[in-house]
Amino acid sequence: MASRMNLKHVDVKRVIRSRFWRDVPLIAAGCAIAAFAVDAFMVSNGLAAGGLTGLATIIAELASRQGIYLPVGFQTIVMNAVLLLFVMRTGGTRYMVQTITGFVLFGFFCDALMPLAASFESVSGDLVLSALWGGIISGVGYGLVFRAGANTGGSDTIAQIISRKTSLPVGATVMAIDVAVCAASAPVFSLEHALYAALAMVIMGYVVDMVVDGGNRQRAAFIVSDAWKDIKQGIFDELDRGCTELLARGGYTGKERPVILLIMSKNEISLVKTIVHEYDPNAIIMITDVSEAIGYGFKEFTV
């Protein structure tokens, strides 16, 4: 009885009023774009590019050989609904709302837009174009869905279940599942189809990252130098941006001195190197990628 009361007491009103619901049109648009790409370039050309959609493509092909029509979109909705039952306890209300919205809209558009795939008969059979444009367009669609805070279920849900049972990393598990689906499509379609499906999957993942990041990729520089005060002032004067002093101690010398942490754009890397070299040619600079920078001076923080 207590568990039921707790479930009812979840902040459903907060979820309904959240930014997520304002992003539903964007989620719908993303699902429609991804579904169109899957219909026009993937399913129609036998490219099972991982995930539940790829698995549904294989099942639909096997069923069609027996004279049975199994819509790919309907299959993904049923599969995701079953899988969601195993993770709903850990995901919370918000997670369930986001996931259900994503996979229901995607499945609906996947079946509703299937007739439009006939207008792309000119590229049917051209696996290179199908893998290329299928990966790009579906990546844009999925990226919009992820950027809006939703998801379409699939491999991620399966990976969460496996990870809970085995403690395997979710990311590696998702990749293993997608590769397994691509490999399973080889006996059904052909080895060539499976290889092009894997290519489409890689392109899709790259495009998704580009869309989700939204051009907000930054660089982080860690600067170790005895002239840290001059370098810090040079950053203030030349870049007109702040930086952070991290307390550190040399492992060999035992000498305490701050390490400067600076978040910058790609275009500012050369200027930072020039500033550091001007004050200390022997300084150590470590530059790494930052997928997203949120806060004052960068992207506004939103939930």
Residue 154 and residue 157: Cα distance in Å, rounded?
6
Q: b/e map of 56-88 (b: 16 or more CB within 10 Å)?
A: bbbbbbeeeeeeeeebbbebbbebbeebbeebe
> Alpha carbon of 3 to those of 6, 26, 86: distances in Å?
5, 34, 17
Q: Is the pTM of this model over 0.85?
A: no
Six-digit token pair at 259? 């390490």
The pLDDT value given to residue 260: 92
Are 107 and 74 within 8 A, CB to CB?
yes
The pLDDT value given to residue 6: 46
Task: Give me the tens of pLDDT residue by residue for the chain, a chain 303 residues long.
Answer: 444 444 444 454 554 455 667 778 888 999 999 999 998 888 888 899 888 899 999 999 999 999 999 899 899 999 988 888 776 655 556 667 778 888 899 999 999 988 887 676 555 668 888 899 999 999 999 888 888 777 887 777 777 777 667 767 766 778 888 889 999 999 999 999 999 999 999 998 888 878 876 666 788 999 999 898 999 988 888 777 788 899 888 888 888 889 999 988 777 888 888 889 889 989 999 998 887 777 766 666 554
The pLDDT value given to residue 241: 78
Instruction: Find, among 120, 102, 101, the residue nearest to 36 by Cα.
Output: 120
Mode of pairing for the β-strands spanning 259-264 and 244-246: antiparallel
How many Å separate Cα 180 from the centre of its chain? 19
The pLDDT value given to residue 136: 93
Domains of the chain: 2-213 (no CATH), 218-290 (3.30.70.120)
Residue 74 and residue 185: Cα distance in Å, rounded?
19
Six-digit token pair at 127? 């696996």
How many Å separate Cα 167 from the centre of its chain? 21
